[in-house]
Amino acid sequence: MTAKVGPRSVALLELFGDGRSCAEVLSTMVPGLEPPELISDLLDKLTQLIELGMLQSADEQEQSGTALRAEPFQTFDQFDYHARMLSDARRVTAYADAIAAMVAPNSVVLEIGAGTGILSVLAAKRGARVLSIERENVIEMARQMVAEADIGDRVTLFAGKSGAVELPERADLLVCELVGNRILNEGLLESVLDARRRLLRAGASVVPRALRVVAYPIEYGFRERYGERLQGAGARVGISLQPMLRWLDEYLSKHQVVDELGAGESVNVLGPATRALEVDLLDVETAGFESAAALHIHEAGRLDAVLLAFELELCAGVELDNRIESAPTHWKNPLYVLPAARNVRPGDRFDVRLRYESQSGFSVLPAA
């Protein structure tokens, strides 16, 4: 059965939030309802909500089979995203190795950003009791993965943001794979800081325990790409599109554009990686910082972007990175377009300022 649930139905549902019965709700509402057709409308809405199972308790919904269950993936793209992560052999193997090294039997492991639940299952198979937090609908797939693994009640799943979740006990180890294409855009630092304050025991370990960011000088040809496209488009119809390019130049002078480089895509790398940032996740105290890096030029070219990559120290002896000279992973690399391009040659040095702000992400700009 389907029904339209509009503002009146939502307001009606709120009246039942404290467990009141239909009779109690009607006794407070009907005397004030005029004209009679409003009473009829109310009764129709009640009938629809009851038939949908929305006025049953959770136990009643389970028994009657009317419980509303979220789909783990709303689109195929979401399924594909998680499938690619699971198929990333370097990622999965590294985290599996770290879990094998760090998880002790009967310890309490907390995972934040559980996704499909594979890392929580691996920790449970090592004998840990796992508290697993996931904010997205994919937690429904994690439930299925846990059931499929036949690990009993060793994994307890919590739906919601980690910052709003209260746990029954503190954990001995945090596993947190909140690393995105733009490195810190999935909230790794914020989640670790909150977990260390509220959810972990004193002396607890963290996987990964350290994060390093490296930077490469890049000839990307960002403006030239747009110039060629727009000039060609204008030539086809005999109209100059220079105003579009002037707007782009003005925009780049005031704002930073970030692109992403995927596996199989190539750019002209003008120099080696330079370590631009190092964060010890056991000691970091803030989710905002700024650092400087000197990029050394080994190839002549036109420098107009800086590419970032990460290096994760998961635990002693286990590392994972997405440097462009390493074997590919499912992660892309962020490319930060500079305000203006410049010609460079071997032996040149280009100083940049790397800044990270919570909620805003990275910016990479020429040093003043």
- Within the chain, all domains assigned CATH 2.70.160.11 are found at 212-366
- Its pTM stands at 0.79
pLDDT band at residue 282 under the 50/70/90 scheme? very high
Mean pLDDT of 190-212: 97
**Residue 66: pLDDT band by 50, 70, 90 thresholds?**
very low
Nearest CA among 361, 114, 367, 357 for reference residue 258 = 361
Region of poorest pLDDT, from 54-68, 169-183, 305-319: 54-68
Residues of the chain with CATH 3.40.50.150: 76-207
Q: What is the pLDDT of residues 223-241, one digit of tens each?
A: 999 999 999 999 999 999 9
For the domain spanning 76-207, the CATH number is: 3.40.50.150
Banded pLDDT at 36 (limits 50, 70, 90): low
**pLDDT tens track for 75-85:** 999 999 999 99
pLDDT per residue as tens digits for the range 109-149: 999 999 999 999 999 999 999 999 999 999 999 999 999 99
Return the CATH number of 212-366, one of 3.40.50.720, 2.70.160.11, 1.10.1370.40, 2.30.30.40: 2.70.160.11
Tell me the pairing of strands 171-176 and 108-112: parallel
Residues 332/338/342/348 CA torsion (nearest 10 deg): -70
Burial of 186 (0-12, 13-18, 19+ CB in 10 A): middle
Cα–Cα distance, 218 to 350 (Å, whole number): 11
